[in-house]
Structure 1
């Protein structure tokens, strides 16, 4: 098992494309509604359908990575996503589009199979950087999907967005099939029902998972508050931007997302707790700049970049901690962690609409800052209440990474020697 730059880039792009399909429709809801003859409320159900589908995929499909051969699972999910995107592209009415949107989101969790796959292939000493790079691709797909969909829809209509994404997903499936190594699951003795029970039980058995799930959920809630309310702010004075211009604002968030590898490198050097703590404090600080952004584009841009940077730092450092807990159960841990994150994001988005009506931008900023402050509180509580365990866990993590790194290099040498002997045998033959 090896991880080179080309494979890392492929896995990063693959995760970004998989999640992007869940966000392409958001800036196109009005256009889709008018063509298919559905009202705004019915069109908006597509967002809910995508969220519900993704949640089910996290719970029902991602744990399969600990049971099945992982390359086959990833390729199957990418091909299924491509098929459902084709159905969306050809949808004759709103009902078909709604169903295909939910199914696309369900299988798009293939991205969450690829992330722990990358963590397993990586040398333990570089796991933080590798996971950070792959998650950068995921976040860029999430943030830039709106920008790309606006551009593609202007070129050939809203259906073009789905046609292009479907073709790209097929291409990704082929490339993953060619370049990913075979990687068997470690939970073959579990039944599917037992696998799901084991996933839920992770919260009971792993204290760090509970803390990190709470921190991550509040961080994503804060992130969702911003990106849900941003459109409300930018369509009114003093901005009064068009939908296409608002879509371009995702580029600002992408700047923050690109810093994820920095957080990963710091985590690899033993500063994982420092990265988490700094990330939570920056989350709170970002909302001061975002609040000032009500009347200043520069402050708004600064706040968005800092918030995205901070969220990435919290997410990446948490994954670095969790993926080292139980290597044989990485997909189940990832499923549990990401489900908690999703719930936090859904709560953040849901509350934002209500708070905007009654409190405007100021109320939204208070809400986002409150979620961010919660991450600081949970991080401090984790450090205080689990100090002996955390200290021991940090030491064990260091030793585990050293042992895993030795095992990783040994496995690589054995694989290289087998290939060399095979080549010699072929030459003698």
Structure 2
């Protein structure tokens, strides 16, 4: 036999490299029985598309497809060059041709090809994880997935039902009536946190009784902590104002304590409790057993926790919270106590600033308490500030009316 020599021939006929196939799912038992069909791109003018080819083969069980373009193409075709040699044993001559590798994958559905991943790419991460659980998840994971999907369906049904019911109510009652009902509900919500009101009272001091604000036992407990206020001198008051140890309302009223010892002690007790209420309203989550300090009597501390906080659960523990509704309740009691201190007329603006409220909020509570609201013009000590609002409790009580409309919301800069 002569020495073997080889000769490079380039592509096969029609400028096509030889096809080398590899089956992705294993080896074939009888590869000699396979027949292959090649599909070539019609766009022969395009420099890239003219080389695109799809190779198709079919066995008794499966149909295989391979291609040299798209997302599933083998990267080795762009990194390496392949050749096929055909040896003539008699002459020892080998013809060498260009070759191209095809990865044959089974086609499991007539409607899905391996590189059709557009729908999958559009899915969210949660949806992709769910698909993995459906295919490979444990029984526990599949049950959890099924339960979550059922809950989602239930939520959609409830949301649809609520939307339909709301639309029916709006059609039947009208938007204006619904707005009025909402405003009335807001007034009723505030009224639920007001002190007991005695509408048939013949005197202003009997409309909101002092005993409903402070019981006799609580009033007696205030004697010791209020003694410092009762004995405060002008220098002490000036020092307290500089230190801001008390709210503005209390500091102003300390300047006008009565000379009579009994009246002076009574006003000092009321001012001490009012100052404590305002400070308590600035808290949010009560974490201490005695949030107002050791000088606060135990019976007063218990009253604050019981009547002016709501229970909430956080990380498995119960906490006392000064919620928005509780702050509204504290505001109502502060206004009533201020009325008893100031002969049933009080400056709402000072209380508003001390409690850090919006004017509309404290005015709503004052009107719910059946107070007459007016400007501070002509009141001694307030002539230079015409923006103050005064609340006056007088008989007969004004009739409660539902607001006709909502206030215009101020634009936020």
TM-score, normalised to structure 1's length? Answer: 0.21
Q: More relative contact order in 1 or in 2 (CA 8 Å, sep 6+)?
A: 1
Higher helix share: 1
| Larger relative strand fraction | 2
